[in-house]
A = this chain, B = another copy of it.
Amino acid sequence: MPLLLFLLLLPPHGLWADSAASARESRQWRRTHERAIVVEYTKLLSLPNVAGPNVARNVADMRRNAELIRAMLERRRIQTQLLEVEGAPPVIYGERLQPGAKRTVIFYVHYDGQPVDGGKWFNRAPFQPALMSGPVEAGGQPVALHSSGPFNPEWRLYARSASDDKAPIIALTTALDAMDAAGIAPGSNLKFFLDGEEEAGSPHMREFLAKYKHLLAGDVWIFCDGPVHQSRRQQIVFGARGSTALDVTIFGPRSELHSGHYGNWAPNPAMQLARLLATMKDDDGKVLIKDFYSDTEPLSAVEKLALAAVPNIDEEIRKQFWLGRTEGNGRRLDELINLPALNIQGITSAGTGDLARNVIPAQATAAIGLRLVKGNHYRRIQDRVVDHIRLQGFHVVEQEPSEATLIQVPKVCLVRRRSGYNGVRAPMDLPIAKQVVAAVEQARGPVIRMPTLGGSLPIAPIYDALQTPVLIVPIANHDNNQHSHNENLRLQNLWDGIETMAALLGMP
């Protein structure tokens, strides 16, 4: 092709999109802008963003996050608007259309984070981002952000949401900065959907999708959430477990009783709860609730093959997590996450340690998390747990029981159902899936293809409302303490994430 003709065919904003070139340019850019990237990121992480079942309390927090993120996107020539439905933090919607692009890619990120127990954080301040020379559990020490010298990629940035899930926001904006500076235009129309209540189970997702369906057409949704594989290799994931939860409360005396005066006589709700929970799983972690596994869709031959190619890191991470054993009758983690799960998220009843008092507690509550895979339905699996509780002799109520009920009924259990969504898996051989895999591999080398992410993402509502395929391209380190205290992002994962996002933006 004569040079003149080639130049005439160039898109108005610069070079043709190309995943490899985009990733390469973003690396160069990042190397000369590391401090600025981290500084911009710490501003974002300084804003409290706790999601929760009681969303009202953090309305102002979430608005502050939304306004800052919106400004970050607008600086990258992304046109934004806040999508609103009653009772939910806004979804930040963004659009950067590319003249001539034949494909629309929608990036999904969430900007809310899990609740924090500040006292457990090493710095007692989940929203004061701290750059550390390594994992704090391994003795990582503070690093002055404004000191000179290059950034060590093993440094980690600590803050709630550092990995889950504000990291892709900074990776995407930085990748766009780099491509704009290099004159590389994205190869697709870009849309952005930033959820503000993912960690609360995205209870309004269906409502958002229905109300704003006209904005959300596209060829693929890319979920930028979750960790890379524990082997630190990039993975592309074709589905995610669904999620729901139940809070189960057993009632003892109206208020705590002196355990000396009434012990042996007043039933103890903590003991009753223990006895109830103990019926739910065996010692190897198998769920004993009737039909718990029965709807589960087994893995296809293609999925089994992909899974067999995933490096087995079980023994390594078992030691890393200080576990003396694993559950599942010897099966691998990557296989086990293709089954539904029942997990006690927490138990509270009166106090222990310095807060222990000589009482018979008034109540005992367990938060029971449920993970679902393709084939399971979150309502149905909740029902099965409730049926099981009934089978143990409890009278199940779904609202605070009355005095009369508690006095008349020997064993009362209050179940509070949380919202939820189902698990999904996209077929591995979709053409768009192959394009995404190819793009990321140009930036990051061979990727792991994983049928299911263990964690949950609100993908099912997207399938239901838009019938658009969803793929997950995570960037965080697996050892990020996600959902717990001391959440962190390893800098190398952020650097890699910038290149991964550039490769997707540059997908021709």
- Looking across the interface, which residue of chain B has its beta carbon closest to that of A360? B343
Complex Cα spacing A354 to B50, Å: 11
CB distance from A390 to the nearest CB of B (A): 15
| A366 at the binding interface (Cβ < 8 Å) | yes
**Are A345 and B322 in contact, with the CB atoms below 8 A?**
no
Complex Cα spacing A410 to B454, Å: 23
Complex Cα spacing A371 to B266, Å: 14
CB distance from A119 to the nearest CB of B (A): 12
**Are A333 and B278 in contact, with the CB atoms below 8 A?**
no
Complex Cα spacing A321 to B351, Å: 20
Complex Cα spacing A453 to B352, Å: 24
CB distance from A247 to the nearest CB of B (A): 6
**Are B350 and A266 in contact, with the CB atoms below 8 A?**
no
**Are B351 and A348 in contact, with the CB atoms below 8 A?**
yes
Chain A contact residues, majority secondary structure: mixed
**Are B263 and A343 in contact, with the CB atoms below 8 A?**
yes
| A17 at the binding interface (Cβ < 8 Å) | no
**Are A328 and B264 in contact, with the CB atoms below 8 A?**
yes
**Are A117 and B351 in contact, with the CB atoms below 8 A?**
yes
Residues of B contacting A358 with CB < 8 Å?
Answer: 114, 199, 243, 245, 345, 369, 455-456, 483
Residues of B contacting A357 with CB < 8 Å?
Answer: 114-115, 345-346, 483-484
| A412 at the binding interface (Cβ < 8 Å) | yes
> Which interface residue of A275, A341, A357 has the most chain B CB atoms within 10 A?
A357
**Are B354 and A53 in contact, with the CB atoms below 8 A?**
yes
Complex Cα spacing A349 to B343, Å: 12
| A22 at the binding interface (Cβ < 8 Å) | no
Interface 1/0 per residue, A342-384 and B, CB below 8 Å:
1111111111111111111110111101010000000000000
Sample of 27 A–B contacts (CB below 8 Å): A115-B354, A115-B357, A227-B261, A243-B358, A251-B322, A256-B484, A258-B483, A258-B484, A259-B369, A260-B456, A261-B455, A263-B371, A264-B336, A264-B339, A268-B285, A270-B366, A274-B344, A274-B347, A275-B278, A277-B278, A283-B393, A322-B403, A324-B411, A345-B352, A345-B361, A346-B352, A358-B456
Starting from the known contacts A115-B351, A260-B371, 16 additional A-B residue pairs (CB-CB under 8 Å) come to A255-B484, A256-B483, A256-B485, A258-B484, A263-B341, A263-B342, A266-B321, A270-B347, A271-B344, A322-B407, A324-B406, A345-B352, A345-B359, A346-B355, A348-B351, A356-B367
